[in-house]
Amino acid sequence: MANIAIGPSKRNFIIIIIPKFSLRILRLSLKVATTANTYCARLYYFLVRFRAYADGIPCL
């Protein structure tokens, strides 16, 4: 039962630490997601352009 006495303070400590940690992780994952999306979009754009370019050239 002695655990209950330090329970709230420990809980508050964890609640204070978790948002900072999760915010950092969230920011990092958002950054990774946007970079991945941009990379995929660029790659897709390049492939589409290249395919259109390749289709425009008559095969000899």
Task: Report the pLDDT value the prediction gives residue 2, as an integer from 0 to 100.
Answer: 43
Report whether pLDDT(3) > 50.
no
Task: Report the pLDDT value the prediction gives residue 5, as an integer from 0 to 100.
Answer: 46
Task: Report the pLDDT value the prediction gives residue 4, as an integer from 0 to 100.
Answer: 46
CA distance 28 to 32: 6
Task: Report the pLDDT value the prediction gives residue 28, as an integer from 0 to 100.
Answer: 78
pTM: 0.37
Torsional sign, CA 20, 22, 25, 30 = negative
CA distance 21 to 9: 19
CA distance 14 to 20: 10
Mean pLDDT of the chain: 65
